[in-house]
Amino acid sequence: MAEQQTDMTGQEEVQGQQGAENVVYIGKKPSMNYVLAVVTQFNNGAKAVTIKARGNAIRTAVDVAEIALSRFINYAKKGSITTGSEEITNEDGTKSKVSTIQIPLSR
């Protein structure tokens, strides 16, 4: 699995994303780290946050959306979920395809 995801721990990244597109990239950390990132963005006034993931993190992305919506941001709702695939270049130069998912949440 060549995963080149940008991990974000919540607080730090969120600070720099004010006003920009609100995206939480899902990586290999525990789900709750990303749930916190999503909830924090809404608490900071974001109207919409998109959860993005690829490869194995897709499962975590769905978990994050479900946990956030059911426990923390009941006022938000899921938008239209999209999936796709991206070609990534492995360390040895070969290419492989990896599936992606985008889950938009909005209040």
Residues near its own copies (CB under 8 A) are 55-56, 58-59, 62-63, 65-66, 70, 78, 80-85, 97, 99-101, 103
Q: Give the shortest CB-16-to-its own copies separation in angstroms.
A: 28
Q: How far is the CB of 70 from its own copies (least distance, A)?
A: 7
Which 8-state DSSP code applies to residue 7? P
What is the nearest approach in angstroms of its own copies to the Cβ of residue 31? 9
**Nearest distance from C-beta of residue 19 to its own copies, angstroms:** 28
Give the Å distances, CA to CA, from 7 to 29, 33, 70, 82: 8, 10, 24, 21
Rounded to whole angstroms, the Cα distance separating 62 from 53 reads 9
Q: Which is nearer to its own copies, 14 or 26 (CB)?
A: 26
Q: 54 - beta bridge partners?
A: 100
Listing DSSP states for 25-79 in one string gives: E--SS-HHHHHHHHHHHHHTT-SEEEEEEETTHHHHHHHHHHHIIIII-TT-EE-
C-beta closer to its own copies: residue 14 or 51: 51
| C-beta of 4 vs 99, nearer to its own copies | 99
* Closer CB to its own copies, 70 or 94, in the complex: 70
